[in-house]
Structure 1
Amino acid sequence: MRHLNVAVLLGDPRLPYAYAVDGRFGHEELEAVERLREALGQLPDYRFSYLDDHAALIDDLRALPPDLVLNFCDTGFRNDWELERDIPALLEILGIPYTGADPMSISLTTDKALVRALAAGQGIAVPNETYVELAADPVVLPSIYPCLIKPNSSGGSFGITRDCVVHDAQEAEAGRTARGG
Structure 2
Amino acid sequence: MHFPLRVGLAFNLKRVSPSAGCVLDDEAEYDAPSTIDSIRSAIASLGHVVVDLEADATFPHALIASGVDVVFNVAEGARGRSRESHVPALLELMGVPYTGSDPTCMVLTLDKHLAKRVVREAGVNTAPASVITTGDEPLPADLRYPAIVKPVAEGSSKGVLPSSVVRNETEARELARQMARRYRQGALVEEFLPGREFTVGVLDGPTVLPPMEVVFTTNAEHPVYSFDHKLEPTAEVRYEVPAKISPELQREIVSVAERAFVALGCRDVARIDVRLDRDGKVSFIECNPLPGLTPGWSDLCLIAQAVGIDYRSLIARILEPAIRRLSEERKVPAPVTVEAPQVAAV
TM-score of the pair, normalised by structure 1: 0.76
Q: Contact 1:163–1:175 at 8 Å: present in 2 too? A: no
Residue type at the aligned position of 2:70: L
Q: Give the alignment partner of residue 75 of structure 2, picking from 73, 76, 80.
A: 73
More strand by share: 2
Residue of structure 1 in register with 2:38 after alignment: 35
Aligned residues, how many?
A: 173
Name the amino acid aligned to 2:129.
T
Q: Verify: 1:118 aligned to 2:121, yes or no.
A: no
The 3 A distance-change label for structure 1 pair 6 and 119 is same
Amino acid at match of 2:168: D
Task: Quote the offset at 1:125 in angstroms.
Answer: 2.1
Aligned-partner Cα distance in 1 for 2:79–2:55: 14
Is the CA contact (8 Å cut-off) linking 1:88 and 1:103 kept in structure 2?
A: yes
Q: Distance in 2 between matches of 1:57 and 1:17?
A: 23
Q: Distance in 2 between matches of 1:171 and 1:73?
A: 35
Q: Which runs of 5+ in 2 are unaligned?
A: 187-346
What do you get for the CA RMSD once the two structures are aligned? 3.2
CA distance in 1, matches of 2:37, 2:12: 14
Sort the Cα spacing of 1:175 and 1:39 in 2 relative to 1 into closer, same or farther, 3 A.
same
The runs of at least 4 consecutive aligned structure 1 residues that moved more than 6 Å come to 16-20
**Are 2:73 and 2:99, in contact at CA under 8 Å, matched by a contact in 1?**
yes
Q: Which residue of 2 aligns with 1:93?
A: 93
Q: 2:134 corresponds to which residue?
A: 135
Alpha-carbon distance between aligned partners in 2 of 1:144 and 1:107, rounded to the nearest angstrom: 28
Residue in structure 1 matched with residue 106 of structure 2 by the alignment: 106
Give the 3 Å change call, closer, same or farther, for CA 40–21 of structure 1 in structure 2: farther
Q: Could you tell me which residue of structure 2 aligns to residue 9 of structure 1?
A: 10
Which amino acid in the other structure matches residue 53 of structure 2?
A: L
2:92 and 2:145 map into 1 onto residues whose CA distance is 45
Deviations 1:43-86 (A, max 9, x none): 12x11111226243211111222100001102x0xx32532211
**8 Å CA contact 2:13, 2:33 repeated in 1:** no
Once the 2 structures are TM-superposed, how far is the Cα of residue 87 of structure 1 from its aligned partner?
Answer: 1.0
Mean Cα deviation higher: 144-153 or 61-70:
144-153
The structure with the largest alpha-carbon Rg is 2
Structure 1 runs not aligned, ≥5 long? none
